[in-house]
């Protein structure tokens, strides 16, 4: 599986809080609750810049992920 860079804004939500909001029996543990991946975030940022002043072109999404992968690679060097 490709490295997605992990979550952009990782958060921890107590299982107790989650279960209470769903009327289940609470337990006292934490679980990771993450949003979009860093790769998706980078791709969205790249796509935003690529589309300024021009209509959407089908290949832009693939190109955005190409740039996102390059940013992840540079980040890990």
Q: What is the pLDDT of residues 11-69, one digit of tens each?
A: 666 666 666 666 655 555 445 556 788 889 999 999 888 888 877 777 888 899 999 99
68 in the same domain as 43: yes
- Write the burial class of residue 43 (CB in 10 Å: 0-12 exposed, 13-18 middle, 19+ buried): buried
- Cα atoms in the Cβ-side hemisphere of radius 13 Å centred on 38: 14
47 in the same domain as 12: no
For tokens 């072109």, the residue is 57
Q: What is the pLDDT of residue 60?
A: 85
49 in the same domain as 31: no
Q: What is the pLDDT of residue 4?
A: 78
Q: What is the pLDDT of residue 24?
A: 54
Residue 31 included in any domain: yes
For tokens 């955005």, the residue is 64
Q: What is the pLDDT of residue 51?
A: 84
d(CA 38, CA 59): 21
Domain of 12 in residue numbering reads as 7-35
77 in the same domain as 55: yes
């Amino acid at each position: 599986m490709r490295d997605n860079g992990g979550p952009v804004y990782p958060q921890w939500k107590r299982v107790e809080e989650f279960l209470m909001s769903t009327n289940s029996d609470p337990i006292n543990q934490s679980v990771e609750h993450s949003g979009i991946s860093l790769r998706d975030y980078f791709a969205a940022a790249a796509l935003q810049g690529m589309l300024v002043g021009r209509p959407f072109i089908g290949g832009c999404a693939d190109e955005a992920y190409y740039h996102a992968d390059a940013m992840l690679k540079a980040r890990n060097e």
